[in-house]
Structure 1
Amino acid sequence: MTRSHQPRRLPRENGEGRGRIASVQSVVLPQDSLVKRIPSRPPEFRGPDFDARFDCSTLIFDAVGSADGRTVRLLCPALLNLREALVRASIRARPSGQPCRFTHRQLDRHEDMLVEVEPGTTALEIASDLGTFAVEVSQPRFDWFAGERVLLTLSKNNELVWLQDWARFHRDRHGATALLLYDNGSTRYGVDELLAALEEVEGLNRVVVVQWPFRHGPPGHGSKRYWDSNFSQLGMFADARWRFLQGARSVLNCDVDELVMSRSGASVFAATERSRSGVTSFFGDWVFGIQDVTRDLDDSQPARFTDYRHALAPVVTYRYGLIPRHPMRCNPKWAVVPARCPLEAQWHTHTINGWWRARLVSRDFRFRHFREISTNWKYDRSERERFDPARHAEDPMMRDHFARVDWAR
């Protein structure tokens, strides 16, 4: 048997005001189930904490209804050995009891099932070789972000002041008007405290925190190989897109330790909206703390973005003497107009898969990736370097952007 994992619904999900807390309608296998998701990665490349990080039990992240009430999209992590059982399942709509046809789509580390239903469907009953279970339908809330310029991110246990400063920066430098944050099971504070801190940031028309209680997943083997087992963030992108953001004016995807900057001073939202394609991608540069230069940190005074002045100097090498490579450059992030994104494309961490326009990289926009704005969840980023003029460079663009932000409001 399987069970539905439905985090406690909080009153603010349907309350008044600009703040909301939302939950998901998910399905997970019981802890004592004899059937689990089996990793596709060879054991010799898994690492010592692979099993603790790997999500072996989630079948469905969320069941998202459509605006017209005629489809429900089941958002799933890569099903792997569980795929055949779920794809061969029979599905009935509740309360009508009518059988439902559905199509299945397999993407990178993510799958979805688009189920045809009658308007008024509130839940699905799924019968498969894995068991029979019911999942309620999460109604779409496109109205929450209609016409807004939305910051989108996934976060766990980040300092509240980092989240506030990150939102303030993108509000003042790019014109962000709303924030959609998926909380990945923070233990340092509850969702009410998190939402209250975000609501302290002035100038945002809508702030939504979604409870996202899934294992993030193990990283790949090195920077290039076996990125095959971290499902949570791709599920988050799908949930945000199909449940909340179809009516958004534009959306910016970047992490809490990343600030997007512009050589011209332009807004990345406005540039994306004006573009022919409706998407803007941009590379990033690391920002390091420098020993005896950057303010010393302690638990009572966490790092702030404005503590930093130096980015890594650009490095260019050449493969075969001809092909330029940028070994210190950060992989791109992106902004998009959701209504102009092809339906078959997949929102991804560093690009939008299946959309060639997302591969074109802007020369105007660049993000700064702050090494010490981190909980060190992936690896220890607290060690500082001594200043090396060949490696570190003062960043006037970062300084100029900081001067144009009201960090107190």
Structure 2
Amino acid sequence: MVNFMLNPIVLPQGSALRRRHIVPAQYRLEGYDETYDFRTIAYDVIWIERQKALLLICPKLLNLEGLVKAARITACGHVLPRPRIKRYRRHDEVWIPLAERPSEIGFEAEGLTLRVKISRQSHEFDGKNVMMTKSKDNTLVWIQDWLRHHVSAQGANAALIFDNGSTQYPLSHLQQAMENVPGLEAAHAIASDFPFGSWKASKLMHRSMFYQAGMLAIARHRFLHAARAVLPIDVDEMVTGANVFDAALRSRLGYVTIPGVWRYSKLTDDQTPLHADHVWRRDPDAACKEKYCVIPGRWFTDTVWDIHGLRRYAFNRMVLRDDVRFLHCEHISNGWKRKRDAAAGALLMRDAQSEAALGGLR
């Protein structure tokens, strides 16, 4: 069993250096700083074989960009060339030409000296239909049911989960839970205990959420670059209908988008909900933002993977499927962001299609 680890660059706790705020002070609410990432320079440092280059996948560098540009970065006793920085909406990428993969690099800047191991690209997921997500303290039964459903209903045969510092169980328990799902040929849980970013803002609330964009970039460049197809959705989202992996493969653009609707469990607060309980809907139905399935490395998809689509979502409507959808399960949540609506029961009606789609989990 391969145990994957990220190789980050993180400023020491006592360092005076830190990332400046991206959201102005007048919009930050109480508690904003608690989940803001002040210290991470790079989530992972990867040698990319095709480009013969080191890739640092970073939160938005902001003022730390000058630090990276001025840093003395060495490998095998040689100073590396000046980096090239690609700036994106919620993460940055630092590219440095390097013909061969070293075991580690030195990073020296403003009195700071760090040694950083180098990650290599994985081929564990090559040719597979991969479920990919991030998770923190999600009930292991939820994760297994989420995987079981997509193995059975969608033909998934691999899973990659970035664990964002769970405290309810060790990473080994998540790994074992994934491995116990029949039909998965590759299953890996990867520790990624970085600040998620804060939603506690009156405006620009998503600007600081660097973590998810960073994990998508790591998935794309390091782990899933040669996957057959990738479905990046959350544990509370269940795809039903036509096979979305096959649909993406047939798509001219190499990706498809999936419409979503909210589903509810109609349970009381003292009951533990499961996906299979989410067979209730509002009338009229309550829609949510679409998700997507992507084929890595196509001419159109060799770009940033975002939360809800590619290329700033400009083409989402063009590739939206009408033979597939996902059920967004309201009560599959530990309430980290908001308290889910447990009092909606009186407004709901039973949905036969959802009951049929999730019935296999009973």
What range is the shorter-chain TM-score in?
over 0.9
Moved more, 189-198 or 303-312: 303-312
Is residue 2:255 matched to residue 1:279?
A: yes
CA distance, structure 1, for counterparts of residue 289 and residue 206 of structure 2: 14
What residue in structure 1 maps to residue 64 of structure 2?
Answer: 82
Q: Match for residue 275 of structure 2?
A: 305
Measure how far apart 1:367 and its partner are: 1.2
Amino acid at match of 2:309: T
Aligned CA distance change for structure 1 residues 358 and 135 (closer, same or farther; 3 Å): farther
1:104 aligns with 2:63: no
Aligned partner of 1:269 among 245, 259, 262: 245
Amino acid in the other structure paired with 1:256 = V
- Whether the aligned pair in 1 keeps the contact of 2:29 and 2:200 (CA below 8 Å) is no
Residue pair 1:288, 1:311 contacting (<8 A) in 2 also: yes
Q: TM-score, normalised by structure 2?
A: 0.93
**Partner deviation per Cα, 1:219-246 (whole Å, 9 max, x = no partner):** 2646x74421111111100111111001
Helix, strand or coil for the counterpart of 1:188? coil
- Letter aligned with residue 63 of structure 2: N
Work out the CA distance in 2 between the residues paired with 1:71 and 1:219: 34
| Partner residue, 1:191 | 171
Give the alignment of 1:48-197 within 5 angstroms: 48-68=30-50, 70-93=52-75, 95-129=76-110, 131-141=112-122, 143-197=123-177
TM-aligned CA deviation for residue 88 of structure 1 = 3.1
Alignment-derived partner of residue 234 in structure 2: 255
Per-residue CA deviation, residues 155-197 of structure 1 (Å, 9 max, x unaligned), is 0000000000000111111000000000001011101111111
Shift of 1:395: 2.1
Runs (5+) with no aligned partner, structure 1? 1-14, 316-327
Match of 1:219 among 194, 199, 206: 199
Task: Give the AA of the match of 1:277.
Answer: L
SS of 1:387's equivalent?
helix
Percent identical pairs in the alignment equals: 32
> Is the contact between residue 311 and residue 394 of structure 1 (CA under 8 Å) also seen in structure 2?
yes
Query: What is the aligned-residue RMSD (CA, Å)?
Result: 2.1
Deviations 1:58-98 (A, max 9, x none): 111000112358211101100112122212333222x2424
Q: Which residue of 2 aligns with 1:324?
A: none
Contact 1:181 1:208 in 2 (8 A): yes
Task: Judge which range, 304-313 or 248-257, deviates more.
Answer: 304-313
Relative to the length of structure 1, the TM-score reads: 0.83
Residue 17 of structure 2 corresponds to residue 35 of structure 1: yes
Change (3 A) 1:203 1:297: farther
| Aligned length in residues | 361
CA contact (8 A) 1:285 1:312 kept: no
**Which structure 2 segments of 5+ residues have no match?**
none
Residues 226-269 of structure 1: CA deviation (Å, up to 9, x unaligned): 4211111111001111110011000001100111122xxx1111
1:379 maps to 2:360: no
Instruction: Answer yes or no: is the 8 Å Cα contact 2:131–2:156 preserved in 1.
Output: yes
Name the structure 1 match of 2:189: 209
C-alpha separation between the residues in 2 aligned to 1:347 and 1:193? 28
| Residue 397 of structure 1: aligned partner | 353
C-alpha distance in 2, partners of 1:358/1:245?
21
